[in-house]
Amino acid sequence: MKVSPLLQNFLSSKLPKTKSSKKQKFALGISDPKLGQEIFEATGITACYNETVVELIRGIRTHFGKIVKKINDEDVKRAQLGLSHSFSRSKCAQDVNR
């Protein structure tokens, strides 16, 4: 898994600058444990993956419509359905047995 230039630019511009990862005063929570090492190599930002982060992400997904006022629940469900269809199509295209 690679860190895209877009993600690298976003993290570098939006997170506070630190001289070393030991003096980092924030925790970047990620939902994929393999991505943490790639982020660290690309930006020097330490990312963490644990049960607390998983629960926070689950809570954000559950209450996203209440957190972001400009998006209603119907729009979120439509976006999730489109994303799941796209994900399924890409998985089927990658499967050599189909």
Domain extent listing, the chain:
1-62, 70-98
**Is the pLDDT assigned to residue 92 strictly greater than 60?**
yes
pLDDT recorded at residue 22:
67
Mean pLDDT of 80-86: 91
Cα dist from 26 to 18, 22, 92, whole Å: 10, 11, 39
16 CA to centre of own chain: 18
DSSP SS3 for 65:
helix
Instruction: Summarize pLDDT for 1-55 with one digit per residue, the tens.
Output: 788 899 999 998 998 887 765 678 888 999 988 888 999 888 888 889 999 999 9
Q: Which residues pair with 28 in a beta bridge?
A: 47
